[in-house]
Amino acid sequence: MAESNCADCSLRAKYDEKPKSFAGRFWRWHINWCPGWKGYMKSLDEAERAEIRQQYRLK
């Protein structure tokens, strides 16, 4: 499988810049079911995962 681009995703950058923009809201909705995002999260160590969960208010 190809390496995930989630860390450098342009939609994620748009969310970071303007969370209420259409692109930002789309990215936030998209990560709820995206298999690539789930794989990316599993590839991180526990500390990085916790940081991202807190940053994006994930479960």
Q: What is the pTM of this model?
A: 0.85
CA atoms within 13 A on the CB side of 10: 0
CA atoms within 13 A on the CB side of 49: 11
Q: Where are the domains of the chain?
A: 10-56
Residues 16-53 pLDDT 10s: 999 999 999 999 999 999 999 999 999 999 999 999 99
pLDDT at 1 over 60: no
The pLDDT value recorded for residue 59 is 84
The pLDDT value recorded for residue 4 is 81
The pLDDT value recorded for residue 2 is 65
In 3D, which of 27, 33, 36, 35 has the Cα closest to residue 56? 27
